[in-house]
Amino acid sequence: LWQRCLVRLEDELPSQQYTMWIRPLQAAVAQEGAELVLFAPNRFIVDWVRDKYLERISELFAELQDGPVPTLTLRVGAARAATPTPAPAAPAPVATAAPVVAAPGQQFASPAAKETGPVAKHRHNLNTSFLFENFVEGKSNRMAAAAAQQVAENPGTHGYNPLLLYGGVGLGKTHLMHAVGNSMLKRNPNAKVVYLHSERFVADMISALRNKTINEFKRFYRSLDALLIDDIQFFAGKEQSQEEFFHTFNALLENGQQIILTCDKFPKEIDGLEERLKSRFGWGLSQPMEPPDLETRVAILKKKAEESRIELPNDAAFFIAQRIRSNVRELEGALKRVIAHVRFTGAALDVALVKEALRDLLAIQARQVSVDNIQRTVAEYYKIKIADLLSPRRSRSVARPRQIAMALSKELTSHSLPEIGDAFGGRDHTTVLHACRKVKELREGSTEIEEDYQNLLRSLTS
Ligand code: ADP
Ligand code: MG
């Protein structure tokens, strides 16, 4: 009976709790069918188990036992010395790592018993290819990656629980989240780590309510060492799910079980999310993830090419990275097309091949960003009039933005230098060329201008 009970407890409890409180217990039958004694190595464990787990153990006994349920007694001591009389409080044996009652190969360790538990259902839902090792760090994600590493090493640490990663699509939130889970499992293969999308949580909860298995549902989530919920913005407007999640959330936090969440925006900005949840989400650490800068985009391309065993020359990597800016997913998509093109044609991977492989993509981009659009965006950014950009005025306050707008037009559209000159009040193509060179120089010499330029690029291309 105790062995069957252990199988269930192992399933239901976070592995840390199980190892710490349940494993050291040794069972001995005091009176066949009438009394079972659980020996614990010390008084502290006895008290703790009585407080936290005894009720559940009794429930399980009642559930698992066909005949009369034996009464349960908790004592300090070791099972070997088990007699109907209490074991002397003398030297308490140190908790052994291995359960004494369940011999290896018995039901306790039976894989069949595990497969049927609710945990087995979710155990393999981590994507094993999302790792810290293949996550490229840069300015835009370094803080988030560091926080994730910290959580992987010390799950449940106060101040890092919950860990919330937020930011736009394709920036690596899901990747980092899985990386934490994979790393936790590597450190502790028994850890119960569950990843799921918030929509899945909602769907599971609804079916648990319908099938009247909500208690099992609750117990399952409360049994985890770490719960990873992706895209919590989908909780918006789903009141009942929020309610259930709120309770699960609190139960886990109270016991120091780790929670990791991702969201496409800062949770305070989600409409339809309860205030108490918003404030709870902020209890731990919230880390933004930003679109990667050029250098990081190049590093990501290089890394992914290497993983595909493709030699990607620097100029080709820069060419792609300069044009695909919005997020890593699109960057990956572009690289996949390039690689497919290389494999298909057998041609050498160079800038010409990249242009060919990404032709439609670049054409769409060029069409999307018009010179008009650039002029409007730049004027707004520098708080000047569009007419100023087109006018002959040469004062610095308009000449600089004008040069930047010209350089952006050259970079983002497929218009020729004379066409761009025309669009800026009929200027000569050499003026445009000069502007492009000047802006390049300014960007290299001033972080402020580089930042302006990047901001403008981002708002024009995202
Ligand atoms: P999000 O969840 O933020 O929408 P994902 O984690 O799904 O984004 O990332 C999209 C794709 O980009 C995934 O294939 C992921 O592996 C990859 N990716 C994102 N950031 C990085 C990075 N810094 N290094 C390597 N790959 C990355
Ligand atoms: Mg995601």
Contact 171, 266 (CB under 8 A): no
Q: Dihedral (C-alpha) 153, 156, 159, 162: value to the nearest 10 degrees?
A: 110
**Which ligand is closest to the CA of 175, given by its number?**
1
CA distances from 150 to 142, 147, 156 (A): 12, 5, 10
CA-262 nearest atom, ligand 1: 2
164 and 255 in a single domain? The answer is yes
265 and 154 in a single domain? The answer is yes
329 CA to middle of ligand 1, Å?
6
Closest CA relative to residue 217, chosen from 228, 226, 208: 208
Closest CA relative to residue 432, chosen from 384, 371, 381, 387: 371
Probe residue for ligand 1, chosen from 171, 287, 330 as the CB with the greatest number of ligand atoms within 8 Å:
171
Give the range of the structural domain holding residue 360, as residue numbers without chain letter: 294-367
217 and 158 in a single domain? The answer is yes
Nearest CA to ligand 1 atom 6: 172
Whether residue 129 is contained in a domain is answered as: no
**Which ligand is closest to the CA of 304, given by its number?**
1
The CATH number covering residue 437 comes to: 1.10.1750.10
Probe residue for ligand 1, chosen from 328, 331, 335 as the CB with the greatest number of ligand atoms within 8 Å:
328
Whether residue 120 is contained in a domain is answered as: no
CA-168 nearest atom, ligand 1: 3
Question: How high is the ipTM of this complex?
Answer: 0.99
Q: Ligand 1: which residues within 6 Å by Cβ? A: 130, 134-136, 141, 169-175, 300, 328-329, 332
Of the residues 254, 288, 322, the one at which a domain ends: 288
Of the residues 35, 67, 84, the one at which a domain ends: 84
Contact 175, 183 (CB under 8 A): no
278 and 302 in a single domain? The answer is no
Whether residue 251 is contained in a domain is answered as: yes
Whether residue 104 is contained in a domain is answered as: no
Whether residue 137 is contained in a domain is answered as: no
Task: State how far the Cα of 136 lies from the Cα of 156, in Å rounded to an integer.
Answer: 25
The CATH number covering residue 49 comes to: 3.30.300.180
Residue 363: its pLDDT value, please? 77
Whether residue 244 is contained in a domain is answered as: yes
457 and 347 in a single domain? The answer is no
353 and 451 in a single domain? The answer is no
415 and 353 in a single domain? The answer is no
Residue 367: its pLDDT value, please? 66
CA distances from 360 to 20, 66, 365, 413 (A): 59, 70, 9, 14
**Residue located via tokens 């990275």:** 321
Closest CA relative to residue 194, chosen from 252, 234, 144, 250: 252
Whether residue 4 is contained in a domain is answered as: yes
173 CA to middle of ligand 1, Å?
7
Binding residues for ATP, by number, are 170, 172-174
Taking the complete model, does pTM exceed 0.80, yes or no? Answer: no
146 and 262 in a single domain? The answer is yes
Closest CA relative to residue 233, chosen from 276, 278, 195: 278
396 and 443 in a single domain? The answer is yes
Query: What string of pLDDT tens digits covers the 462 residues of the chain?
Result: 888 999 999 888 888 889 889 999 998 887 777 888 999 989 889 999 998 899 899 889 888 888 888 888 899 888 764 444 444 444 433 333 333 333 333 333 333 333 334 444 445 689 999 999 999 999 999 999 999 999 999 999 988 999 999 999 999 999 999 999 999 999 999 999 999 999 989 888 889 989 999 888 888 988 899 999 999 999 998 888 898 889 989 999 988 899 999 999 998 888 888 998 888 888 899 999 999 999 999 999 999 999 999 999 999 999 999 989 888 999 999 999 999 999 999 999 999 999 999 988 887 776 678 899 999 999 999 999 999 999 999 999 999 999 999 999 998 887 889 999 999 999 999 999 999 999 999 999 999 999 999 999 888 876
174 CA to middle of ligand 1, Å?
7
Domain count, the chain: 4
The CATH number covering residue 161 comes to: 3.40.50.300
239 and 345 in a single domain? The answer is no
The CATH number covering residue 313 comes to: 1.10.8.60
35 CA to middle of ligand 2, Å?
52
245 and 373 in a single domain? The answer is no
Binding residues, by number, are 170, 172-174
Of the residues 263, 288, 313, the one at which a domain ends: 288
348 and 452 in a single domain? The answer is no
CA distances from 339 to 173, 244, 310, 313 (A): 25, 46, 8, 13
Residue 100: CA atoms inside 13 Å, Cβ hemisphere, count?
A: 18
Residue 366: its pLDDT value, please? 66
Whether residue 214 is contained in a domain is answered as: yes
